[in-house]
Structure 1
Amino acid sequence: MKTILALCLLLASTLASAANYTLWINGRAGSGANGTPGNYNDFSYWGPSSTPAGVNKKAVNWDGRSSIASQSGRVRDALDCFCTGNNWCYVVTYSAGDLLTGYTLANYGGTIRQQKNASPNAAGVCGNSGAGTQAGWNIKWVRAAAGAAGGSELSDIGAWTTSEPLVQDLKTSTARAMYNHNVTRSVWFYMYAGARGTAYSFVLPGQDDEVVAYHSAGGVAGNSGRSLCNPGDWFCDDLRLGTENNQGGSSKWSWHSVAFRDDGEDYNHYGGGNWGGIIGVLRGAVVNTAQ
């Protein structure tokens, strides 16, 4: 009887310690407010922290300017903290955060990690839980708004400060060759592509949100960007929903699926410090699914 009671108490303790978290990984830093790296409660990059954004939401802040390789440690710290042991994560990315997340999973998602206690210090690092190690992280899915894992032609033409390391990484040829985009550790990437492009539409091929074209936001494979549009556009092939090959035969990367295509051309790239643009579409989906 004592043995059974002890096992029941152990099971209850294990279940009680299990939790789901929603990690928000920002994109390139703008001129407005940006979150403090290491502070998982600072949502100033996105908008009011009181806005619903998934269960146990955490802001995985990085500087938004440095190279992808140098900032991957920020993501690894967060994944170690909240996505090991009995805890599971929903991962939400935006723009260059998609490139950063893909790079991290491809290069480190199979490595052995210490299981952590989900109690970060001021630097965003958690202590070991004492429960041992595991391979990679517990991730339910990744959802990406305006995903820039395929790069942006704005980097190609020097539309941003060219000395910025992140801008160099965001060149289309560099981003696409940076890691094997088909390696996601069997985690699905659900893509949300905006199409309200204006200012730079002459540079970005096909449909775009002013910063990222459909070829990147739609997770389309290949060595360079191609022109893809909404159905009914006579001048380029359709970006198709789900995992289906696009019109003309181009395919998505493995484990990538288009969840939202902006057929109405209603959403641009910018959140405006208030969860706006294509970020708002993504947030709505996260609230309904990250529970």
Structure 2
Amino acid sequence: MTRSRLQRFLMIALAGAALAGAALATNYSLWINGRTGGGVAGNYADFTYWGPAGTAAGVNKKAVNWDGYNHISDQNYLVRNALDCFCTGSNWCYIAAHSAGDLMIGYTLSLYGGTSRYKKNASPGSDGSCANSDGSTQTGWNIKWVNVAAGAGGGSELANAGDWALSEPLVSDLKTGTARALYDHNNTRAKMFYMWAGAKGTLYSFVLPGQDDEAVAYHSAGGVSGSGGGSYCNPSDWLCNDLTLGTAATEGGTAKWSNHSVVFRDTAEAYNHYTSGNWQGTVGLVRADMVQNAQ
């Protein structure tokens, strides 16, 4: 074989190897549940918390199940397992979270998003963990962005007031002061958090400040910073400051956490907190966005 033919052969072989590597790259949509859980931990096909598993919810959707009962710190390994499995090496992830799932992914990125992670093979065992792919590591995870429905990253006054079972370890994490001090909410590792805030709140409106979805108020669902929950409303309500869209500070000047952007504010007061076993509430809006944009 002449040198020119050998060079051409090597170029073709290298190009083929590159194409083969590119073909192995896969995108995944990870769904992180909130309080009460419902799905089996480690079973990424169990969408009991959300609704029918056959419903479209983004490319290669996976349910990142945790018990929705114990402390965020105690259950966080399950989320790290999922991120290691599907969001390392050549694979990338879109994240969707609901309620306390917001607290969970925020905690994960802030505390562990800068750590060394082994690249995994995306073939989980029964416990939800995956084997190393090639023994190499990377820093953090390959995450495109995070969609949050009814986020509880700022906690809920229902936890403060004892409206939820005080015996649940998670409820102590969901107290507004505790949730806001649990980790650095500004440290998202440069990942954008897109927030959907519902306002169809009636049952607990006397406990939750401003607009709410019956479980969390706008200060939390909108990613508003501060050590405690403020009162924020729709523009039609003159009794409190507006929750602004996008990353801009609220009316009154309180900033949102870094990389937090409100993409939906429920001015029609039509969406509550609950999935109702069928991808309902603001989760339905996030699901539609995942179908369109998580590809």
Q: Tell me the TM-score range normalised by the shorter chain.
A: over 0.9
Larger radius of gyration: 2
Residue pair 1:220, 1:251 contacting (<8 A) in 2 also? yes
Alignment correspondent of 1:271? 275
Aligned to 1:120, what secondary structure does the other structure show?
coil
What's 2:116 paired with? 112
Is the deviation greater in 91-100 or in 7-16?
A: 7-16
Gaps of 5+ in 2: 1-7
User: Would you say how many aligned residue pairs link Structure 1 and Structure 2?
Assistant: 288
Contact 1:85 1:131 survives alignment (8 Å): no
Which of 11, 15, 22 is 2:18 aligned to?
Answer: 11
Match of 1:199 in 2: 203
Q: 1:216 aligns with which of 210, 213, 220?
A: 220
Give the superposition deviation at 1:13: 1.5
- State the one-letter code of the partner of 1:67: H
Q: Matches of residues 39-118 of structure 1 in structure 2 within 5 Å?
A: 39-118=43-122
- The CA distance in 2 between the partners of 1:128 and 1:16, in whole Å, is 19
Query: Superposition RMSD on alpha carbons, in Å?
Result: 0.8
TM-score by length of 1: 0.98
SS of match in other structure, 2:131: strand
Does 1:150 pair with 2:157?
A: no
CA deviation digits over 1:118-149, x for unaligned, max 9? 00000000110106110000000000000000
Could you tell me how far apart the structure 1 residues matched to 2:148 and 2:281 are? 13
Matches within 5 A, 1:127-276: 127-130=131-134, 132-276=136-280
Shift of 1:234: 1.1
State the identity %: 62
Q: Which runs of 5+ in 1 are unaligned?
A: none
CA distance in 1 between partners of 2:230 and 2:282 (Å): 21
CA offset at residue 264 of structure 1? 0.2
Cα deviation, residue 6, structure 1: 2.2
Structure 2 length as normaliser, TM-score?
0.96
CA distance in 1, matches of 2:282, 2:59: 20
Q: Does 1:24 align with 2:31?
A: yes
In structure 1, what is the Cα distance between the partners aligned to 2:201 and 2:273? Answer: 8
Task: State the 1:42 CA deviation.
Answer: 0.5
Report the Cα offset of residue 92 of structure 1. Answer: 0.3
Tell me how far apart the structure 1 counterparts of residues 178 and 115 of structure 2 sit (CA, whole Å): 24
Distance 1:131 1:257 in 2: 37
